[in-house]
Amino acid sequence: MPIPVFTIDGILPPFTGAGPGDDSAFMSPYQADALEVAVLFGTGPRRREILGKWLDHRSALRDLGFDAGFQWLDGSFLEEKEPNDLDIVSFFYYPTALSTEIQKISFWNSHLDVFDRQRVRASFLLDAFFIELEGAPETLVSLSRYYLQLFSHQRESYLWKGMVQVPLGNANDDAAREQLLVSLRSDEPEESQA
């Protein structure tokens, strides 16, 4: 099922089906690929800039071996208003070469430009959070519950809203999306291009 259109309140609906018992495709987070995200949400220069930075960050993750998992997308970017950034929660598996906790911590600390929340916000226009899928099940459930509740409601109004889920490792889809963004940027008036 495609990502639904904004509601009259300017948000993604939390579900589109009739209710309990419906297929999970009718509920948030809606499954999508990066190209669908670009087509639906790349509606202006700022949004396209944020989408391009998101693509760059996904590429940086894959370059480090993080090519399995998925991302939840949310925040004002998935609302009908001008966003400052894109909120993401990356659910990931560590590369197989990183088998011990010491190796994982050392690797993480060696790549803070990709993992540190403040650095990622400054460089990639993302408010980024990370959840390791190989962790303890209780921790995974607790963190998922936290982020789902945090991001499934609008900050100001507490209005219940939807999110989008995109596979992490699809480099071909990201490349198609980048081509679309380049094409859209070339159609912008000269004063909008920076």
pLDDT range class, residue 188, cuts 50, 70, 90: low
Is residue 1 assigned to a domain? no
Task: Report the pLDDT value the prediction gives residue 194, as an integer from 0 to 100.
Answer: 45
Q: Is residue 175 in a domain? A: yes
| Helices assigned H by DSSP within the chain | 34-41, 45-63, 101-110, 112-115, 117-124, 137-151, 171-186
The residue ranking higher by pLDDT, 83 or 175, is: 83
| 6 inside domain | no
- When pLDDT is averaged across residues 45-55 and rounded to a whole number, the result is 94
- What's the structural domain count of the chain? 1
Any domain includes 149:
yes
pLDDT band at 153; cut points 50, 70, 90: confident
Query: pLDDT tens digits for 78-119?
Result: 999 999 999 999 999 999 899 899 999 999 999 999 999 999
Find, among 37, 95, 86, the residue nearest to 61 by Cα.
Answer: 95
Q: How would residue 24 be classed by pLDDT, with cut points 50, 70 and 90?
A: confident
> How far is the CA of 10 from the CAs of 78, 96, 107, in angstroms?
9, 42, 40
Domain residues for 57?
24-184
Query: Average of pLDDT values for 27-54?
Result: 91
Letter string b/e over residues 125-162, b meaning 16 or more CB atoms within 10 A of that residue's CB: bbbbbbbbeeeeeeeeeebeeebbeebbbbeeeeeebb
Structure tokens at 156: 């100001």
Does 29 sit behind a cis peptide bond, omega within 30 degrees of 0 on the bond before it? yes
The pLDDT, as a whole number, for residue 173 is 62
DSSP-derived pairing of the beta strands 30-31 and 69-74: unpaired
The answer to whether residue 191 sits within a structural domain is no
* 193 or 176, which is more confident: 176
Q: Is residue 192 one of the residues assigned to a domain?
A: no
Query: Does some domain include residue 7?
Result: no
**Amino acid in the structure at residue 98:** L
Give CA–CA dist 134/176, Å, rounded: 30
Region 132-137 average pLDDT? 90
Could you give the C-alpha distances from 94 to 29, 64, 107, 132, in angstroms and in order? 23, 9, 10, 7
Give a yes or no: residue 62 inside a domain.
yes
- Tell me the pLDDT band of 123, cut-offs 50, 70 and 90: very high
Q: Tokens at residue 104, please?
A: 């994982």
